[in-house]
Amino acid sequence: MSGQTKEKTGWGFLQTGGLKLTEGEPFRLIMRFAIPLFIGSVFQQIYNVVDSVVVGRFVGAGALAAVGCCGPAYNLILALVMGLSTAASVLIAQSYGSGNREQVRRSYATAAGVILLCGAVLTVVGLIASRPLLLILGTPADILDMAASYLQTICGGILATCLYNIMSNSLQARGNSTVPLLVLILASLLNVVLDLVFVICFGMGVPGVALATVLSQMFSALLALVYCSCRIEDYRLKGLRKELSREAAAEVFRIGLPAALSSSIVMISAMFMQRVVNSWGSSVTAAYTVGNRTEQIFMCLSYSIGMAVGTFAGQNEGAEQYGRVKKGMHCGYLINLIYTAVMGTAMYVFAPQVLGIFTNDAHVIAIGVPLVHITAIFSPVLGFVFIFQNFLRNSSDIAPTIWMSASEILARSILSFVFSALFGFTGIWWATPVGWTGSMLIGCLRYRSGRWKQKSIASRQRLAGAGDTCPAAPSDTIV
């Protein structure tokens, strides 16, 4: 494929072109790439946060609990899409780092086709399985109907979510974290307006916030699609069908299915934990919801640093610059420790005030404060989990991430039951950080082993003596 990519570049952290992470000072590059991701993560959380605030303030604690308990079920349904999207990001980042544009376009086209097909199937599954999943979760009877209505509605927007994830991950893989940010800002603002209109003006309640979320997702998907197809030559729709490749599809599934399994394990563990939480009634469910929302907001930069380190690793492994990969990891460690020290302190000190944003129910706030305190204490650990997970995935070293996720499901599914029996609902809050600690240790050991160097596309191509096309590889053995 000849010619230059028609993608304009900007300056500072507001670059809109591809950022080459194989050249330049690692700390500066990671921060330049992570800042838009961070802002985008904040606005991504606005989708959920605004839903929670609007229903908590204008509908009631029961509606807040109904929206919150849908999270694990919806994320489980989406696990396959998220895993395949991760695979697309990994393949494109490594191909972009190696300078192989034909492989970039082939990976993009094939991943898009696979993900949209899976998304169509998951839409049907989600519409059918919504209520049964909520029953499995032990959703309290007084909020079951509201929760089922919310979950079915947002499942109707799965294809839009798929399309946005394809575009966003494909842009981020080539170092463009600004366009996804701008799209998210616009979509999040639209979501705020629609939430207020549907709930306050039209009195639609929980179905109203679900509809607002779906419409905003559709808007973000179409906006990202228009940008990619018009401004980036490698992602143009014209002739994209001709780029579909069995070899690329094999790579998408080789990386994506274990990643989906890893995500599914975490989601299943979250469902176990949600069931334990639900057994204590709607007030504890509401407190768990707002506590999780608080964690997601305060940990946005840690999550973004993990993504930035992962993309940095992917591009540099594609170029086989392993020394730079290690420098990028060390930069990620430092940023994570500084950030979580500041944010963890803020979370701990201002926990009641932050929870008060979501609800004015004093009982719910009192239940949620210990959860936020525990999360604040263990926030550095969670930051390291993000770094190791993203690093290993972008290194195509997927198997250890399954073990990392397994530690979480063991902690959540077993310890949440045990601790709640011993210490009441407050004991549930300790199960998750124990899982984080185990996950972090597994990721650290794998990174220190150096075995991830053998998993990149460039390494396997060299060992196999292949050309540009990477042959399908057998599934990773979990060792």
Among the listed residues 121, 209, 212, 103, the one whose alpha carbon sits nearest the alpha carbon of residue 162: 121
Cα angle for residues 385, 90, 44 (degrees, 5° grid): 60
Contact 399, 476 (CB under 8 A): yes
Distance CA 371, CA 292 (A): 8
Amino acid identity for residue 286 in this structure: A
Secondary structure letter of residue 198 according to DSSP: I
Per-domain residue ranges for the chain? 24-461
Please compute Rg for the chain using Cα positions.
21
Query: Can you give the pLDDT of all 479 residues of the chain as single tens digits?
Result: 333 344 444 434 444 455 678 888 898 888 888 888 788 777 777 666 676 778 777 777 778 778 877 877 888 888 888 888 888 888 888 788 777 888 888 888 888 888 999 999 999 999 999 999 888 878 888 888 888 988 999 999 999 999 998 888 888 888 787 888 888 888 888 988 998 899 888 888 888 888 998 999 999 999 999 998 888 888 887 777 778 888 888 888 888 888 777 777 777 777 777 788 888 887 888 888 888 878 877 887 888 888 889 888 888 887 788 889 899 999 999 999 999 999 899 989 999 998 888 777 888 889 889 999 999 999 999 999 999 988 988 887 878 888 888 787 777 778 888 888 888 888 888 988 988 999 999 999 999 888 888 765 555 555 555 444 443 333 332 22
Query: Rounded to an integer, what is the distance from CA 237 to the centroid of its chain?
Result: 26
Among the listed residues 305, 388, 302, the one whose alpha carbon sits nearest the alpha carbon of residue 343: 302
Contact 168, 224 (CB under 8 A): yes
CA dihedral in degrees (320, 324, 325, 331; nearest 10)? -170
Kindly report the length of the chain: 479
Alpha helices in 362-411 (DSSP H): 362-377, 379-394, 399-410
Q: Kindly report the backbone phi and psi dihedral angles of residue 220, in degrees, each rounded to the nearest multiple of 5, phi listed first.
A: -65, -40
Half-sphere exposure of 333 (CA within 13 A, CB side): 9
How many CB atoms sit inside 10 A of residue 193's CB?
Answer: 13
pLDDT, residue 459, reads: 56
Element housing 160 (H / E)? helix 158-173
How many CB atoms sit inside 10 A of residue 410's CB?
Answer: 16
Query: Rounded to an integer, what is the distance from CA 451 to the centroid of its chain?
Result: 25
Q: Kindly report the backbone phi and psi dihedral angles of residue 429, in degrees, each rounded to the nearest multiple of 5, phi listed first.
A: -65, -20
Supply the DSSP string of 195-211, one letter for each residue: HHIIIIIS---HHHHHH
Secondary structure letter of residue 23 according to DSSP: S
Among the listed residues 277, 299, 311, the one whose alpha carbon sits nearest the alpha carbon of residue 174: 311
Place of tokens 């993309």: 311
Contact 470, 411 (CB under 8 A): no
Among the listed residues 75, 56, 83, the one whose alpha carbon sits nearest the alpha carbon of residue 151: 75
Amino acid identity for residue 98 in this structure: S
Distance CA 100, CA 79 (A): 29
Contact 418, 276 (CB under 8 A): no
Place of tokens 């129910």: 361
pLDDT, residue 10, reads: 41
Query: Rounded to an integer, what is the distance from CA 303 to the centroid of its chain?
Result: 8
pLDDT, residue 215, reads: 94
Q: Which tokens is 26 given?
A: 């690692």
Contact 47, 210 (CB under 8 A): no
How many CB atoms sit inside 10 A of residue 448's CB?
Answer: 8
How many angstroms separate the first and last alpha carbons of the chain? 39
Contact 88, 116 (CB under 8 A): no
Q: Which tokens is 313 given?
A: 């690793």
pLDDT, residue 461, reads: 56
Contact 150, 207 (CB under 8 A): yes
pLDDT, residue 47, reads: 63
Supply the DSSP string of 412-441, one letter for each residue: IIIIHHHHHHHH-HHHHTTHHHHHHHHHHH
Element housing 104 (H / E)? helix 101-136
Distance CA 139, CA 77 (A): 17
